[in-house]
């Protein structure tokens, strides 16, 4: 199952901006690249470094810790191997919505 979260209006995601939001207990990095909003987990799968402030090259972000590069559109690492989770984003009447998997809850 999936659910949608709305990015608070106070988050500035104008052209070229980046931001972090929290959902399902995880940090999600948001990027506005040429007017397209992308959402990925803000944790490099190699060693957990934040991707939010990594170097951008088009829609590729480079991990500041070890240089791995990830496609913001699908989370795939350049050259294959590890991936980061990417989330679908919709912008409706200025509201940014991210579709996330429903968290698994402990039945106890």
pLDDT along the chain (108 residues), means of 10: 87 95 90 97 93 96 95 94 94 92 62
Picking from 33, 29, 30, the residue whose alpha carbon sits closest to that of residue 49 is 29
83-93: pLDDT as tens digits: 999 999 999 98
* DSSP code of residue 54: S
Task: Check: CB of residue 49 under 8 Å from CB of residue 55.
Answer: no
> Where do the domains of the chain lie, and which CATH numbers do they carry?
3-100 (2.102.10.10)
Please tell me the distance from the alpha carbon of residue 51 to that of residue 48, in angstroms, as a whole number: 9
Number of CB atoms found within 10 A of residue 15's CB: 9
pTM score: 0.89
């Amino acid at each position: 199952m999936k659910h949608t979260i709305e990015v608070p209006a106070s988050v500035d995601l104008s052209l070229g901006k980046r931001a972090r939001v929290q959902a399902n207990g995880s940090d999600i990095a948001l990027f506005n690249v040429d007017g397209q909003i992308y959402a990925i987990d803000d944790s490099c799968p190699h060693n957990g470094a934040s991707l939010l402030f990594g170097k951008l090259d088009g829609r590729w972000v480079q991990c500041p810790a070890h240089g791995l590069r990830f496609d913001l559109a699908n989370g795939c690492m350049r050259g294959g191997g590890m991936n980061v989770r990417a989330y679908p984003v919709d912008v409706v009447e200025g509201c940014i919505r991210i579709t996330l998997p429903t968290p698994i809850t402990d039945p106890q």
